[in-house]
A = this chain, B = another copy of it.
């Protein structure tokens, strides 16, 4: 479990918004949770957090919903992960040591550090828009079958 459920839903939701709201359309929580197969009220909470932090936009009232501004800057995947999961996913010792460093490494410190650092760098270079493009091209999927 690299990411929490919340984080998985967040990534999926933003990808979906990115694909569906380019043209100014807005999506309700119901739309989104159905599309990404996530529980509706739980997804609502996550969307609200994302909106509060400016990753996505929202509008209340009829015809309202969530969306991404046309001229919005690309969203770095790692930024989403850090908002939702904090640095848990990547800065945590594999064996749970509070302080696990070069000077005081756990027995698998070097291995873990190397791999998590690589993955982190990768997620820092990927944007939601890039992932959305993969899906639009039919080379990747957000849900099963």
Contact = CB atoms under 8 A, between A and B. Distances in A.
- Copies of this chain: 2
A144 interface: yes
A8 interface: yes
A75 interface: no
Given A111-B122, A112-B2, A119-B115, A144 B92 contact: no
Nearest to A119: B115
Contacts of A39: none
Given A15-B107, A140-B107, A144-B104, A8 B95 contact: yes
A71 B5 CA distance: 44
Contact of A141 (B3, B5, B105, B143): B105
